[in-house]
Structure 1
Amino acid sequence: MDTATHITMGVAIGGLATIDPAVQQDPALFQAVFIGAIVGSHAPDFDTLFKFKGNATYIRHHRGASHSPIAVLLWSFLVSGSIYLFYLDVSYLHLWLWVLFSVFLHVFVDIFNAYGTQALKPFVDKWIAIGFINTFDPFLFAIYIAGIMAWVLGADPRYTFGIIFFVAFLYYIKRYLDKREIVHQMKDHLDGVEKVVTQPTIRHNIWRIAVTTDEHFYVARSENGHIRIQDKFDRKPLPETAEMNAALQDKNVKSFINFSPVYRYEIERHEDYVEVRFIDLRYRARDRYPFVAVVTLDRFYNIISSYTGWVYSEGKLQKKLEPLT
């Protein structure tokens, strides 16, 4: 989920916390919980600092260990403990429990978009990305904003945010049913379906779809319940060749493969170098697949340059690989 929605959700949790008699009756505790809910609802995303270490590190670790069960506990103690230093007379237990709830809810809602998290790390390294809520969902953001405005205008936060979170719960169920219908449609339409990866867009009625069958990859789009196949690719296993084995040792490629649940590859052989490209099929936009990992190798299969990330033009990608040219 995006930062703005996490923060508005934190404000909503701060308002909801007034259902706790201890919070409602103690203005200082309310202030501490309110601050803690906002900070806690964003804390796991402090791992965006990995961006400064490059795309490979960011893609491999963002929403990884920072969103694990152990991290949820650590974030809750770190945030609540830091705030408690300024509110030593309040109940630490109540403060910690509300901060814990806000951190947990952050991680929980993140599993429902296509990016997902490693929410079960270190027990399971698999990315959990259920894929029926967009990273920024206008409806969810709007209802949190509406609740906050109602609170500012004098509405009781207990009832206001109780209703808001109940509506959000119903919305998640509705989106799950939307995704289930898409999965059923793809299984009815295609033979040998092994996996259906869905990515809702910012528009409620439009979804991106990537399907893995026993022989092919399909890229599709659903609009108003009607599915259109946009691309079809042969499903080929990674070849056990010297060039592919060399490419798989690159840190950018490792990060990409660790993150992407459905991708294909291309190999281009030139006079002086070989380019191996891995293409994520979830993010088709404007007839392109912008999320890639590319590595170039010399004639002896030494890595010359590599890159992973989102690139929307071939020219910009080649600039990222400039050591070659």
Structure 2
Amino acid sequence: MDTGTHLVIGVALGGLATLDPVAASHPATLNSIMIGTIIGQQAPDFDTILKFKNNAKYIRNHRGITHSMPAVLLWSLLITGVIYFFSPDANITHLWGWTLIAVILHVFVDIFNAYGTQALRPFTKKWVALGIINTFDPFIFFIHIAGFIIWRFGGQPGIIFVIIYLILIGYYLIRWYTQHRVKQAVKHKIPDATRIIISPTMRYNRWHLAVENKTQFFVAKAYNYDINILDVFEKKPIPDLPLIHKAKEDENIAAFLSFSPLYRWEVTEYNDHSEVRFIDLRYRSKDYYPFVAIVKLDEELNIISSYTGWIFSEDKLMKKLELT
């Protein structure tokens, strides 16, 4: 989820903690829990700092090890230890318990996005991405805001957020069912589909689709359960060429290939260099595919420049390559 949604969930968990008899009867503990749940909801995304390094590091690691099972435990212990150092009167057991819930819930809700997480590490590095809830879901965000308003005007926060989270459980189930119906509609439209990747949008009844069968890639969108195919690409095996092998050694290309499950490739020859491009088919936006990896190589297969990331015009992409 986005940072704002994680923030409101952290505050809501602090409100839920008022149902904890120990926290409710001990202000220092309750205040510490509120801090712990807010930080706990943000902590796994501290790897966003990798953006300052480069996109390749960010793509390879964001929502990776920081969202893993060992990291969940380590985050909760670290946050609890720091807060307890400054607030030794707090009940450390209850502080840790609520902070742990916050960190677990952060990773759990991220699983429902199209981006996903490596939440099952260290058992597997597979990305778990259910594609049911958009990274920013207006309903989830604003139902929390409504809860805060009721709280502000005297409502009991524990009861408020118990009701809200029961509603959200129902909302997730409805979204799961809707996605299931969309998948059925795709199978009806493309009966021989071997893989279907469904990405939600901020609009409840609109979905992005990337589909493949044995010979083609399909890029489509769904409105309710009506499937509209936007692009069709022939599947071509990546050639076994020195040019390709050299391109794959580049960290930007390697990062892209480690993350993207469905992409096509292009090789373009120029007078003095070659260009290898990989294009993720999940993120079509206004006739453009903004998530790419590209590398330029000279005639001796030395890498001149490369780039990976989200960029929304060819001109900007070329400028990025000139800067590397």
TM class by shorter chain equals over 0.9
**What is the CA distance between 1:225 and its match in structure 2?**
2.2
Q: Please give the root-mean-square deviation of Cα atoms over the aligned residues, in Å.
A: 1.0
Shift of 1:323: 6.1
Q: What amino acid is aligned across from residue 45 of structure 1 in structure 2? A: D
The residue identity in structure 2 corresponding to 1:304 is I
CA distance in 2 between partners of 1:19 and 1:214 (Å): 54
Q: What residue in structure 2 maps to residue 189 of structure 1? A: 189
Q: What residue is the counterpart of 1:89 in the other structure?
A: 89
Provide TM-score, normalisation by structure 2. Answer: 0.98
Q: Does 1:107 align with 2:107?
A: yes
In 1, the alpha carbon distance for the partners of 2:320 and 2:41 equals 35
**1: distance between equivalents of 2:321 and 2:273?**
12
- Would you say the 8 A contact 1:304–1:323 is kept in 2? no
Match of 1:67 in 2: 67
**Partner of residue 169, structure 2:** 169
Deviations 1:202-234 (A, max 9, x none): 111111000021111100001132110000011
Contact map agreement 2:112 2:129 (CA 8 A) in 1: yes
Equivalent pairs counted in the alignment come to: 324
Amino acid of the residue matched to residue 231 of structure 2? Answer: D
Which residue matches 1:10? 10
Question: What is the correspondence of 1:32-47 to structure 2 with a 5 Å cutoff?
Answer: 32-47=32-47
Name the CA distance, whole Å, in 1 between partners of 2:323 and 2:308: 15
Secondary structure class of the residue paired with 2:211: strand
Task: Tell me, yes or no, if the aligned pair for 1:56 and 1:256 is still in contact at 8 Å.
Answer: yes
Code of the residue aligned with 1:317 in structure 2: it is L
1:299 aligned partner = 299
Asked if the contact 1:221/1:227 (under 8 Å) is kept, the reply is yes
Q: Distance in 2 between matches of 1:225 and 1:191?
A: 15
Please say if residues 59 and 259 of structure 1, whose CA atoms lie closer than 8 Å, have aligned partners that are also in contact.
yes
User: Counterparts of 2:316 and 2:179 in 1: how far apart (Å)?
Assistant: 34
* Contact 1:44–1:75 (Cα < 8 Å) also in 2: yes
Partner of 2:22: 22
Deviation at 1:191, TM superposition (A): 3.2
CA-to-aligned-CA distance 1:45-89 (integer Å, 9 cap, x gap): 111110111000011111110000110001001111111112212
Equivalent-residue separation in structure 1 for 2:169 and 2:196 (angstroms): 24
Amino acid at match of 2:152: V
Q: Which residue does the alignment assign to 1:178?
A: 178
Question: How far does residue 192 in structure 1 lie from its aligned partner after superposition?
Answer: 2.2
Unaligned runs of 5+ in 2: none
Cα distance between partner residues in 2 of 1:323 and 1:179:
41
- Measure, in 2, the Cα distance between the counterparts of 1:208 and 1:7: 27
Paired amino acid for 2:186: M
Query: Distance in 2 between the 1:150 and 1:194 partners?
Result: 48
1:240-319 paired onto structure 2 within 5 Å: 240-319=240-319
1:120 paired residue number: 120
In the TM superposition, what is the alpha-carbon distance from 1:118 to its structure 2 partner? 0.9
**Structure 1 unaligned regions, length at least 5:** none
Could you list the runs of 4 or more consecutive aligned residues of structure 1 that deviate by over 3 angstroms after TM superposition?
none
Partner letter of residue 135 of structure 1? T
Residue 137 (structure 2) aligns with: 137
TM-score (norm 1): 0.98
Matching residue's letter, 2:227: I
Task: Note the alpha carbon deviations across 1:159-191, whole angstroms, 9 max, x for none.
Answer: 100011111111111111111111111112113
Equivalence for 1:157 = 157
Shift of 1:157: 1.1
| Aligned-residue offset at 1:300 | 1.7
**How far is the alpha carbon of 1:122 from its aligned partner?**
2.2
Identity %: 52
1:217 counterpart residue number: 217
